Amino acid sequence: MRPHTFPRRHRHREEEPTFIATQTPDVLSRLLPDTITLDLDTCDVDDTAAQITLAVRSTQAMALCPLCTTPAQRIHSHYERTLADLPWAAYHVRLQLRVRKWFCRNRQCPRRIFTERLPTVAAPWARRTLRLVQRLVDLGVALGGKAGVRLGQRWDLAVSRNTLLRLLRRLPVPSYVIPTVLGVDDFALRKRQTYGTVLVDLERHQPVALLPERTADTVAQWLQAHPGVEVITRDRSSAYAEGARHGAPSATQVADRFHLVQNLAEALTEVFTMQRPALDAVNAAVCQQPVPLPDGTVAVPVPPPATPPRAQQQAAQRAAQRQATYDTVWTLHRQGWTVPAIAAQVGHSRHTIERYLRLPTWPVPQHRSTYGRSVLNPYKDYVLTRWNAGCRTAMQLFRALQPRGYTGSYRRVAAYASRLRQAQGLPPRRQGRRQTMPVVAEPACQPLTPRRATWLVLGREEKRTEAEAQQLTQLHAQDPQVAEAIDLAQDFTQMVRQRQPAQLDPWLQRATARTLEALQRFATGLHADYAAVKAGVTLPWSNEHVAYCTSSPASWP
């Protein structure tokens, strides 16, 4: 510990008549939490601990009793409080505050002796100054617990995650007006384990309540306790629909448009899973098409990676096991077993059993593709440039990639080089003199999987590339059932995005009359929730801001 030393004045500044020198103690006093009620006695600096200790005392001539508010001027004794304050640069600041105890003059007051209050400095029994607490609260509101601690360490604020959360819980609940338009959605307290419900005022874009569960009773109780809600936007959950129906019978329920398209995507993915041969045919055609380059030349496409024989064997074994499980599930289902009983018998979740029962036949096994997910992807343009320039040795390419940040293995580069040789018709190890080879490039679009095909169909037309539009056209021409599914899906998304309620009934009739079971079930679900779906494609309200609140709590006021 070393006492504060006073620096010398600068001789040039002493000569300037407009410059008024300020004594160092005066400067330090102005940095105190309250310059009126506090007076600085000493200042000690500990360079080892990076801490400044300020000995300060209260200068109040009298104090008010906290119970009867009678002014007191008779001092009983003194005591010290230790308070943490805002840091000064890289130094933590600690206040050794000397305050007093007073005698209350009011004989009817039950408090005979009380301690001095400093409402502008710190709360009673607190160990931090008010301005430090406010800084921590702002940090916690903006970032939460762990992120707030990380930023606080950079700001030299020593605080733990639990302290930030405790300060946040002490904040008063903000007042709000009962919303007229209410958005309802769930959020994860613990992902896949515990969920709650968030309620958002969609007119003011302000969260109004967090409910501990996502059940119908929880939502209904809140709505009954807060009458006045006229419009309720929600997802397709039956629990929220029932809760809104019981809690606010007169309110208009609106099915969220995003969830409508999401439910359609699930049905369409199921259709494409059953129509896997159509996707394989499109992928095979794409791999044979030349790739146009920006300079006007045409390149041969790189073939997709081949699956190793061992991986094929393992995939076939897993597919056989899944098909055996599928057959067992359907056998037990025909015998009258319930879904929970089947799940316990075969050792799978209820969700898996329900998914198997939605499939009338076992789909063609689909192998997991690693195409498009490789550590080599960011460097493929450089590899293709070097390859087309004549560098066709995998080791040279590998050594050239390492200084550029490539952290993958040599075998991955060698496997990619083998695919490039295959595209150009070269033997595995080319020997002999150099010859002119065609330019090689990656295919214009990625191969289709059921999920990728789904979002290709549901994506906006103006955002599709020319290659993706051609790929979608080829998929549409592969099979009549695939064409029906694509037409129905695109008509539905257009109806939802452009809010065309007059098209809902004709679309439901078309979907119900088709032979695609997945889309029939989707249409049946829309029929069961017809009023909310009709309001969803009619009214402008949606759960867009509710989803933003659940994914970004830092945006909450």
Shared-domain flag, residues 34 and 163:
yes
- Which of 284-293, 337-346, 392-401 is the least confident region? 284-293
Q: Same domain for 491 and 512?
A: yes
Predicted pLDDT at 188: 85
Q: Are residues 187 and 162 part of one domain?
A: no
pLDDT beyond 50 at 71? yes
Sequence-distant (≥ 6) Cβ neighbours of residue 291 within 8 angstroms: 298, 299, 300, 301, 441, 442, 443, 444
Instruction: Check whether residue 117 and residue 96 sit in a common domain.
Output: yes
Backbone torsions φ then ψ of 88, nearest 5 degrees: -110, 105
Q: Are residues 161 and 203 in the same domain?
A: no
pTM exceeds 0.85: no
Domain presence at residue 17: no
Mean confidence (pLDDT) of the chain: 84
Residue 104 lies in a domain: yes
**pLDDT score of 454 more than 90:** yes
| pLDDT value of position 557 | 45
How many domains, in total, are found in the chain? 4
In DSSP notation, 156-198 reads T----HHHHHHHHHTSPPPP-PPPSEEEEEEEEEETTTEEEEE
In terms of DSSP H, where are the helices of 248-292?
257-274, 276-288
Mean pLDDT of 475-503: 93
Stronger pLDDT, 174 or 2, i.e. the higher one: 174
pLDDT-derived band at 23 (thresholds 50, 70, 90) equals low
Task: Report the range of poorest mean pLDDT among 43-52, 145-154, 362-371, 468-477.
Answer: 362-371
| Closest CA relative to residue 97, chosen from 67, 130, 68, 143 | 130
**What is the mean pLDDT of the segment spanning 422-426?**
72
Q: For residues 102 and 74, is the Cβ–Cβ distance under 8 A?
A: yes
Residue the block writes with tokens 């055609």: 285
Q: How confident is the model at residue 19 (pLDDT cuts 50, 70, 90)?
A: very low
Burial class (CB in 10 A: 0-12, 13-18, 19+), 490: middle
Instruction: Please answer whether residues 218 and 197 qualify as being in contact, where contact means their C-beta atoms are separated by less than 8 angstroms.
Output: yes
Q: Are residues 374 and 466 in the same domain?
A: no
| 468 and 533 part of one domain | yes
Residue where a domain stops, chosen among 426, 459, 474:
426
The range of the structural domain enclosing residue 382 comes to: 292-426
